[in-house]
Structure 1
Amino acid sequence: MDTSSRSSISSRRLVLLLALYFFFVLNLPLTTRLAGILEGLDGVSAGFVLSIPVFFVAALNLLFTLVAVKYLEKGIFITLLLLSSAVSYAMFEYGVVFDRDMMANIMQTHRGEASSYLNVASVLWFGLTGLLPALLVARVRIEHGGVLKDLRWKGVSVLGSLAAIGLVAAGYYQDYASVGRNHNYLKQLIIPTYYLSSAGGYIDQTYLTETLPWRPLGEDASVARPHRNGKPNLLVLMVGETARGMNFELNGYPRDTNAFTREQGVVSFQSVSSCGTATAVSVPCMFSRQSHDDYDAGQAGRQDNLLDVLSHAGLDITWLDNDGGCKGVCERVATRTFRPEDGGPLCDGDYCQDGVLLEPLHQALERPGSQDRVLVLHMVGSHGPTYYQRYPAEFAHFTPDCRRSDIQNCSARELVNTYDNTLYYSDYIISRVLTALKQHSNEWNTGLLYLSDHGESLGESGLYLHGMPYALAPEQQTRVPLLLWLSGEFEREIGLNRRCLQQQAREGRFSHDNLFDSVLGLMGVSTRVYRAELDMLAPCRLG
């Protein structure tokens, strides 16, 4: 190929242009948030405002100068442009923050979930801000001098960047310190430094950190048998996806999102918080013995969880998954995963609607057995942004709905309607499970516990979806629904006082931390790892 006709640019000039481009274009989520903060402050000096682009461009110029290594720089810059464009879109349009937990969530995302984020807006954004500049970098010929000349300009560039940063700090340190202290989250919006450090932390924790020895829990677990009425206990534990408690009719929401269960004796716990704001964190955490405050993914992944302790006690455990995987929770129990690519009337190749869980549930209920049993149904529930694909057309109860994935371009009414339709359909699925349990009450003492993994933002404060760092996450992402239903015989079997239970649900404050011990207590499992103080039902069990 004749390269003589190709445009050329010096390495130092390319670095400066990229620094300018990253700040003024790809860091739009940061600059818009900064603009809003500065508008709300009194007495902001014009010099401080003008110093902000100088500071960030100098810092980015310093970073890019250090990675501008001959023969490698083109590949590095192209990769950064493509990744940063995708990150910038997610941050600007949905308010996503790419911390370590989000990196774990991304790494565990299946193809259908990833494709749901593709739409005209995201493709245009990526094409114009990522692909186009990446192609320009790929096409241009980067000029270098000799080794000494390159080292000389690198030294000048580094010193010049440091000098600019130093001058800004000397003149406006107090302003930067004040804004930084009061809005500490701003560092999480800087592209590309924050998502790169998060990715590095995830890789280190997941692949480079020494594997901890396995820690067994509850190996002494047992259940007193036979039960007083001679029937085994059966609990269906439904793990919801992205359902927020404030949109449940049973929690006071003024729409009939619980139209199918409100008359079925379900008890709704009013104040329940999640362990995390993303499935990859919340699901392992809620099944672990650790709490939100001390949760460590590495430790939790190397010790027995709730399902293991139930298995130690001799219970029959089955996990039915319709949400892309159990995040390691079900590795040691019988599992069936529904694969959208296998097809079927309720699957579109990317997702299956939760109706696929009903037939295998019926099959499990009809399978005879004398062991106590726990069936876990992991739902796709209200997973966004393509909410409209989570429910059949006949469950479009609230209209007009938002039938697109770029949900930020729907009206607030359309978006809430679509989201509420997912809850309406989930409530229908819960009611079908309840009906099945009632039909099998002659063979089992039956119960159902529904608990979502995290909530969802629907445009409040400019945020969409979920995954915000927990310390910054709004209530919409952390308040989750928890429903409990027990047959009369199950209640009598465990000596449960229903009036006390209803008061607990109405007045108590609970979280994912309570699941581990509450299920052990509910199923009558005796073990040293059980903690009565975390069992939501313990105060309401007689004797």
Structure 2
Amino acid sequence: MLADSLSRRVNVERSPLTLAWATAIWIGLLGNWPLWQRMLGMPDFAGTGGRLFIGLFAGMVVMVLGALFSLMAWRVAVKPLMSLMLILTAPLAYFIGSYGVVIDSTMITNALQTDLRETRDLMGWGLLINILVLTVLPLLWLWRQRLGNKPWLQRLGWNLLSLVLALVLGTGLGALRTADLASTLRNHKVLTKMVSPVNAIWATAALGVQKQKAPKGPPEVVGADATLSARPAGAKPPLVMLVVGETARSENFSLNGYAKPTNPELAQLPVLSYREVASCGTSTAASLPCMFSHLGREVYVDRPTHQETLLDVLQRAGLAVLWIDNQSGCKGVCDRVPNVQAINPARADHPLPQGLCGADGECFDEAMLHDLDARIAALDPQRVARGVVLVMHQMGSHGPAYFKRTPADRKPFQPECRSSALQQCPLEEVRNGYDNSIAYTDHVLAQAIRWLDGQQGRFDPSLLYVSDHGESLGENNLFLHGMPYALAPKQQKHVPLIVWLPSGTRAAQHLDSDCLSARRDTPMSHDGLYHTVLSLSGVQTAIYRKDWDWVAACRR
């Protein structure tokens, strides 16, 4: 009897609209659990009135999904397309619910540029559970359904009617609480970016439009007039080391007042730490190209442009330029200059000492410092004689697996979170793991300064360290980074800037030491990186802006 009943149910012919609406209800109510969890925890939605509004908002979400899916309710297309929606929803729910991220075009760019190592760190049992519940179970039901066959014109009529009814009902639900809805959309814009999978569809479409608007062909030439300043007889060429940090936030540096001793080695060195520096973005994909553009953030983010970078200008002026990467690439910044990866310990020309790299091929940041003399010797000697700019792109404090970023013997803060599922660790353990990565960056920078110090017989060396963006460590239930800039908390935009200028370099650059120290709390931003590197490396060009140069105010 039971088998006959189940057989009859499977043999019932379903309308494509039935499958579309069933998927809309499933995704709207269950697949968006992070959205409902967030709203239930917000004071604005407390009490009976708040809970009622959440219910109305859930109904509106279902109506929006129902309207969208009605356009896909065709006999041949409905099962594959609904399957795609279900497959999209599970990882979106996991990442939004676990780390508090929002989905926009920048986050889609981050996902597309993430390499295998970063992807592996983001995986966890929570993702598998979300996939099982939100994707596998409904897919089993979906693909067992038989579909009826109606003439396409009749199907079109029903689909359009479904679309109109969904929009009318959704509008009606919103009209019941117009003031509350307007207030929510105005004051909590992040909620609209949590509606899955609409968020991913919209963000991907927006990214596609951006790509279409971007100029085609070779990059626009910038700084065509770049030349090197004349050096007095006997003066040494510059050696500028720019260390691009990863996911380091200013407030966790003891040099900037943090209670835990995260900078024990730099504290013993004559470095300057600037405490009020704003990033260009909240992710590597957004910040890195912006940092190496002369435009500044306000112009760069609103202008679809394909221009040469700072490294192109330095190379055109005649300097030797080398990018050393220990991350997932330079996002196009270093494409036209010599660049190497620090994650290949098997290379015969630069074999890395044992212990610097793991079995998975990921190396600690000290690997970038290995054999620097040989790397410089391999560059064009005529360029080297004019000056060298080394850029090191760190793995730094890349999360969520902070514990992987530090060697076993460099973990002063215990216990540390040993999981990528940060929300399952006590916040103090999450911060210990993160602070260990900051302390290791302190060690790497100190090692770099010691190497640079040994180059003073040949060069006038300098070091700039600045992170690409910051990080959330559980504040307001947010983890990681990548929030839209206007909505991002300060922790994701407030980055460290550390400068080392030995006395010989300060004299060659005519820089006043007291002035440099007095500017520790002067507001600065990534906008100044381009112009500071130009001045420290002795490059003259019309695009240089003295008012953005971090050290120009102290040049006498």
Q: TM-score range by the shorter chain?
A: over 0.9
Matched, 1:523 2:537: yes
RMSD value, Cα: 2.3
* Cα distance change on mapping 1:491 and 1:306 into 2, 3 Å: same
Residue number in structure 2 paired with 1:442: 457
1:405 to 420, 425, 430: 420
1:389 to 404, 418, 433: 404
Aligned 8 A contact 1:281 1:297 in 2 = no
Residue number in structure 1 paired with 2:94: 89
Counterpart of 1:110 in structure 2: which amino acid?
A: D
Residue number in structure 1 paired with 2:523: 509
Deviation of 1:32 (Å): 2.1
Residue number in structure 2 paired with 1:305: 309
- For residues 70-469 of structure 1, the aligned pairs below 5 Å read 70-206=75-211, 211=216, 214-227=219-232, 229-296=234-301, 299-300=304-305, 302-339=306-343, 345=355, 346-349=357-360, 351-364=362-375, 369-469=384-484
For 2:266 and 2:55, how far apart are their aligned partners in 1? 58
> Could you report, residue by residue, the CA deviation over 1:268-295 in whole angstroms, capped at 9, with x for unpaired residues?
0111010001101100000001211121
State the secondary structure of the residue aligned to 1:128.
Answer: helix
* Cα distance change on mapping 1:350 and 1:276 into 2, 3 Å: farther
Q: TM-score, normalised by structure 2?
A: 0.91
For 2:418 and 2:51, how far apart are their aligned partners in 1? 45
Deviation of 1:364 (Å): 3.2
Aligned 8 A contact 1:19 1:64 in 2 = yes
- Bigger CA drift: 337-346 or 69-78? 337-346
> Could you report, residue by residue, the CA deviation over 1:103-159 in whole angstroms, capped at 9, with x for unpaired residues?
111111111111111122222222222233234323433334343553443244233
* Cα distance change on mapping 1:341 and 1:235 into 2, 3 Å: closer
Counterpart of 1:199 in structure 2: which amino acid?
A: T
State the secondary structure of the residue aligned to 1:303.
Answer: coil
For 1:507 and 1:158, how far apart are their aligned partners in 2? 56
For 2:213 and 2:537, how far apart are their aligned partners in 1? 39
State the secondary structure of the residue aligned to 1:188.
Answer: helix
Aligned 8 A contact 1:84 1:191 in 2 = yes
- Bigger CA drift: 173-182 or 75-84? 173-182
Counterpart of 2:409 in structure 1: which amino acid?
A: E
**What is the aligned residue count?**
538
For 1:138 and 1:375, how far apart are their aligned partners in 2? 56
Aligned 8 A contact 2:531 2:548 in 1 = yes
Deviation of 1:98 (Å): 1.3
* Cα distance change on mapping 1:45 and 1:88 into 2, 3 Å: closer
2:17 to 3, 12, 18: 12
* Cα distance change on mapping 1:348 and 1:512 into 2, 3 Å: farther
State the secondary structure of the residue aligned to 1:395.
Answer: coil
Aligned 8 A contact 2:221 2:308 in 1 = yes
- Bigger CA drift: 90-99 or 123-132? 123-132
State the secondary structure of the residue aligned to 1:270.
Answer: strand
1:536 to 550, 553, 556: 550
State the secondary structure of the residue aligned to 2:423.
Answer: helix
Percent of aligned pairs with the same residue?
36
For 1:457 and 1:46, how far apart are their aligned partners in 2? 28
Deviation of 1:342 (Å): 5.9
State the secondary structure of the residue aligned to 1:472.
Answer: coil
State the secondary structure of the residue aligned to 1:167.
Answer: helix
- Bigger CA drift: 215-224 or 480-489? 215-224
* Cα distance change on mapping 1:247 and 1:35 into 2, 3 Å: same
State the secondary structure of the residue aligned to 1:68.
Answer: coil
* Cα distance change on mapping 1:216 and 1:499 into 2, 3 Å: same
For 1:208 and 1:342, how far apart are their aligned partners in 2? 42
- Bigger CA drift: 95-104 or 493-502? 95-104
Counterpart of 1:521 in structure 2: which amino acid?
A: S
For 1:15 and 1:405, how far apart are their aligned partners in 2? 35
- Bigger CA drift: 153-162 or 37-46? 37-46
Residue number in structure 2 paired with 1:492: 507
Listed as ranges, the gaps of 5+ residues in structure 1 are none
Q: TM-score, normalised by structure 1?
A: 0.93
* Cα distance change on mapping 1:7 and 1:487 into 2, 3 Å: farther
- Bigger CA drift: 68-77 or 273-282? 68-77
- For residues 3-82 of structure 1, the aligned pairs below 5 Å read 6=10, 9-37=14-42, 39-40=44-45, 44=49, 48-82=53-87
State the secondary structure of the residue aligned to 2:389.
Answer: strand
Aligned 8 A contact 1:277 1:467 in 2 = yes
- Bigger CA drift: 338-347 or 495-504? 338-347
State the secondary structure of the residue aligned to 1:262.
Answer: helix
Deviation of 1:198 (Å): 0.6
Aligned 8 A contact 2:45 2:53 in 1 = no
For 2:446 and 2:214, how far apart are their aligned partners in 1? 45
Aligned 8 A contact 2:20 2:82 in 1 = no
- Bigger CA drift: 457-466 or 213-222? 213-222
* Cα distance change on mapping 1:45 and 1:529 into 2, 3 Å: closer
For 2:33 and 2:511, how far apart are their aligned partners in 1? 55
Residue number in structure 1 paired with 2:3: none
For 1:38 and 1:534, how far apart are their aligned partners in 2? 42
Listed as ranges, the gaps of 5+ residues in structure 2 are 1-5
Aligned 8 A contact 2:210 2:304 in 1 = no
State the secondary structure of the residue aligned to 2:143.
Answer: helix
Deviation of 1:207 (Å): 5.1
Counterpart of 1:69 in structure 2: which amino acid?
A: W
State the secondary structure of the residue aligned to 1:451.
Answer: strand
* Cα distance change on mapping 1:227 and 1:400 into 2, 3 Å: farther
